[in-house]
Amino acid sequence: MNEQQARTRIQELTAALNDHNYRYYVLAQPSVSDYEYDMLLEELIKLESQFPELVDQNSPSQRVGGQVTKKFPVVRHKYPMLSLGNTYSKEELQDFDQRIRKAIGEQFEYVCELKFDGVAIGITYANGKILRAVTRGDGMQGDEVTPNIKTIRSLPLSLKKEGLPAEFEVRGEVFLPHKSFLKLNQEKISNEEEPFANPRNAAAGSLKTQDSALVAKRGLDSFLYGLFTDTPLFDTHYESLRALKDWGFKVSEFSKKCKTLNEVFLYIETMEQLRPELPFDIDGVVIKVNDYRQQEQLGYTAKSPRWAISYKFKAERVATRLLDVIYQVGRTGAVTPVAVLKPVPVAGTIVKRASLYNADRMAELDLHLLDEVYVEKGGDIIPKIIGVNDSVRPANAQKVQFATHCPECDTPLAKSEGEAIHYCPNSEHCPPQIQGKIEHFISRRAMDIETLGQGRVEILISNGIISNLADLYDLKYEQLLGLEKTITDPITLKTKKFSFREKTVENILNALENSKKVGFERVLFALGIRLLGETMARKLAKHFGNIDALMKASFEELTSVPDVGEKMAFSIIDYFKQPGHQEIVQRLKNAGLKFETQKEAEPRQGPLNGANLVISGVFTHYSRNEIKALIEKNGGKITGSVTSKTTYLVAGENMGPEKRKKAEELGVKIISEDDLEALIKQ
């Protein structure tokens, strides 16, 4: 395929993928299967890697992330992002309404919208493409998080609508849907990381994550609710919302015009009843005067507009009885206490269990059996005990003590100094640890053998067919066919029947065979080494190159790898020094799994061979991605910071003053993009 053919195909793929994204994430009307979408995206990424000069900074491939931002630049808002005044009562809303009527008379209407519990963002589009995305910050300036915002699939990277302003800003809320939040926290818990307290914290943390590839995996979403231009395009806010939707943005379907305060109250009551059924968090309703001229007439205070206010819902808190405390054991041996409660309705669901996190949290609550406890849903999703009514506690109530032995294998629990979590050290023979390790190993982000699944793993273990990771690759058709069992989930108490029929067994064995193609970094992550997450597994695989070098690595060699701390180094050494783990690794090797990294392709040859270049600023003829591709195509290497090894600093407009200063101090040659083109032509 020549360059012109590649350009045409890239344009076709880009248009198709953008359309599929819009249909799936905005309209909720998917037009192709996930597999078909993935194949189109894979073809685009492959073409862009072959022809890097054709990569557009707003290509659908940019949604998978990959850009690492060490420091988020602070950007001043063109239009200040003011906060809204809050109210919790109808009386205060009546006062707000009276102030509006006194100032502008009786002829006006409100627009009521959901108050999303996320992170406010301002996104500037220039010539129909995303230019930058900036967080609210202090209202006057915020952090630029453009690479991370581009991973949100419901947000258009470029707009097809004709007649749009040359530049405009849209504002909205970035949030984490409940489904994505639960999945993220399950992964954090399985990796022994502190889970996020609520979806809002998770969304905020994601936007400030340095690696946009990690952000892309978290499933952020957004709703847009504001349009800002130098010259007004519409007379009312509601017209702006309809226009944003028409342009291809995701706008909430729950916005409503209200002519009277009674209609506003009805909207609030309706949304509060609907709240438990929504797949995302809201914490109230926003009420705005609709007409822009009337908004200008009402004006602003120092901190907020006089023409808008938010009505915040009260968190639902209920009282119930603590019946018992049970303990769950994770794949790494971490023991988590769970409160067994007298069933009680909270925010639309019946709550029977609540996590107590660890021994420190239990001690803080000072729990006693049959205590009256107060329960809320964290982020309206995860039930948690927020307090105890000790005034009604019987004098002889039994204090709840944290377990001293593993509830599954009766091994005495251990607790490392400086850590809050207790562990069962019997990692090789404790049933839930064995099951957890295997479930982690087969998970999508590890070996991707999900046809096996959680319930079927439990059946294989209970039948003595498998007891460790390597046993999976010894499975035979006749061992599996006909197995079945009904399994009860210990938390939800729901039952499900699992069986191994002919097609199921074939799918499992095929998935096991296909998993042998998985790269070393994912195999290393799949081993389930304590504290070793996906990102660090990738770094260690790249640094050491193969499993043998990693297994022999000393403490000093491990801690010399960026971001490997002492605890992680000790954990890796401890894992590989155990004979049982050494045997499993050898058996997995024998089964054909990949335990070394693939050799990197030879560097491109060109006029910039051997040159290290740093780019800074905004360029006239190229986007940053285009200029990077140009350098790499001609044999040059891109680095992030100016050092004594830097050959050239390629300077655009508004280049970083620190980079210029460093280059001048070190005698590094500073060149323009025209100079760069001349170098390449030479």
Amino acid at position 86, single letter = N
Strand partners, 113: 286
Q: What is the pLDDT of residue 28?
A: 60
Q: Which domains does the chain have, with CATH numbers?
A: 3-64 (1.10.287.610), 74-312 (3.30.470.30), 318-415 (2.40.50.140), 431-591 (1.10.150.20), 612-681 (3.40.50.10190)
Distance in angstroms (rounded) separating the CA atoms of residues 338 and 341: 9
Lowest average pLDDT, out of 37-41, 227-231, 463-467, 500-504, goes to: 37-41
Count of beta carbons in the 10 Å neighbourhood of residue 209: 16
Tell me the average pLDDT across 119-142.
91
Q: Higher model confidence: residue 32 or residue 50? A: 50
**How confident is residue 295, by pLDDT bands cut at 50, 70 and 90?**
very high
What pLDDT score does 177 carry?
93
Residue 375 makes CB contacts below 8 A (sequence gap 6+) with: 317, 318, 319, 320, 341, 344, 346, 351, 354, 383, 384, 385, 386
Judged by DSSP in three states, 337 sits in strand
Q: Does residue 315 have a pLDDT over 90?
A: no
For 41, the token pair is: 């995206």
pLDDT of residue 380: 47
The answer to whether 115 is a known catalytic residue is: yes
- The pLDDT, as a whole number, for residue 34 is 66
Residue 280 CB neighbour total at 10 angstroms: 22
- CB 438 within 8 Å of CB 466: yes
Query: What's the pLDDT tens digit per position in 336-360?
Result: 899 999 998 876 678 888 888 888 8
Cα distances from 585 to residues 131, 152, 287, 476, 588, in angstroms, run 48, 38, 61, 20, 5
525-577 pLDDT tens trace: 999 998 888 878 988 999 999 999 999 999 999 998 877 888 899 999 999 99
Per annotation, catalytic residue among 90, 115, 183, 599: 115
pLDDT of residue 555: 93
